[in-house]
């Protein structure tokens, strides 16, 4: 008697999992769609549960991806702990994308708002990366994309936002050295202006920014993924920003500050 053929494991069960923070809008939504199209199931993290559910439906219909939803405020330790708990069970791809800017002057902005910005833009990035890495290193496979900004490479008049993104760049660069040879990759993505809800949410007026300075979400996600495949730790999407950052690292800091005050319209943002 011949043995029963063994049922092949369903390809659905083999889909890797990616966790994206801030996928209810802008760049995070772009990453979620891109990764779903590449065959990942998703863990979607943001505050707006309705939008998370709607995105999960879209990802299932469009790409056959399963999504877990974590409605969490990353400005709170309670919210971050929900995500840390999930990361402890392992994911293959982490995108630390959630972040926000603020308008006004540093010396008049509410301290709680500035602290929330630090907690989302910095503390969450550090804690979530820390939670994701043990299973990635054990599996000798994994990717962490930390969304920084050109503002993290070339500090301008804005203070707390640029400083938070400089942390993300420095943190990712340092970590990449430690991860060498582990099979785990980390990237600091440093985009310039992207057409998303970011500036409207921050209350920052952008109408005078020339068209050539704007990037779109698809362009940025594509550059990030392409740079990952080349093993680049710092990804700067767009020829205009590659030029700006290349020049910016070669001229005196005093000139950089003047330049970013013009190009970045530094006044009126913290």
- Catalytic status, residue 40: no
Per-residue interface string for the shown chain with ligand NAP, residues 132-171, x marking contact by CB under 6 A:
---------------x-x----------------------
Segment (H or E) for 137: helix 124-139
Residue placing its CB nearer to ligand NAP in the complex, 53 or 141: 53
Q: How far is the CB of 11 from ligand NAP (least distance, A)?
A: 30
Q: Is 93 helix (H, G, I), strand (E, B) or coil?
A: strand
According to DSSP, residue 248 is labeled H
Let me know: does 81 contact 57? Beta carbons within 8 Å. no
Q: What is the distance in angstroms between the CA of the first residue and the CA of the last residue of the chain?
A: 76
Q: Which stretch binds ligand NAP (CB under 6 A): 62-70, 71-79, 177-185, 226-234?
A: 71-79
Q: Which three-class secondary structure string do you get for 42-57?
A: EEEEECCHHHHHHHHH
Q: How far is the CB of 100 from ligand NAP (least distance, A)?
A: 5
Q: Note whether 31 binds ligand NAP by CB under 6 A.
A: no
Our CA dihedral for 42, 49, 193, 257, rounded to 10 degrees, sits at -110
Q: Note whether 53 binds ligand NAP by CB under 6 A.
A: no
Give the interface with ligand NAP as residue ranges (CB under 6 A): 21-28, 46-48, 51, 73-75, 97-100, 120, 147, 149, 191, 193-194, 196-198, 201
């Amino acid at each position: 008697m011949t043995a029963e053929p063994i049922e092949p494991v369903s390809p659905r069960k083999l889909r890797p999992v990616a966790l994206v923070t801030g996928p209810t809008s802008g760049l995070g939504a772009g990453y979620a769609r891109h990764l779903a199209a590449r065959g990942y199931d998703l863990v979607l993290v943001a505050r707006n549960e309705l939008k998370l559910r709607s995105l999960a439906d879209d990802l299932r219909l469009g790409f056959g991806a399963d999504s877990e939803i974590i409605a969490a405020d990353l400005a709170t330790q309670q919210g971050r702990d929900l995500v840390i708990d999930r990361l402890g069970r392992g994911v293959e791809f982490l995108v630390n994308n959630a972040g926000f800017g603020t308008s006004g002057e540093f010396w008049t902005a509410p301290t709680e708002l500035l602290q929330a910005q630090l907690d989302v833009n910095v503390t969450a990035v550090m804690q979530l990366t820390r939670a994701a890495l043990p299973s990635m290193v054990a599996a000798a496979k994994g990717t962490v994309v930390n969304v920084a900004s050109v503002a993290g490479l070339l500090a301008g008049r804005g203070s707390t936002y640029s400083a938070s993104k400089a942390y993300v760049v420095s943190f990712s660069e340092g970590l990449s050295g430690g991860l060498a040879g582990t099979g785990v990759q980390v990237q600091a993505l440093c985009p310039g202006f992207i057409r998303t809800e970011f500036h409207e949410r921050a209350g920052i007026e952008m109408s005078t920014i020339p068209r050539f300075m704007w990037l779109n979400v698809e362009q940025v996600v594509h550059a990030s993924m392409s740079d990952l495949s080349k093993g680049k730790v710092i990804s700067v999407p767009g020829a205009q920003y590659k030029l700006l950052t290349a020049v910016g690292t070669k001229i005196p800091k005093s000139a950089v500050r003047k330049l970013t005050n013009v190009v970045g319209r530094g006044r009126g943002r913290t």
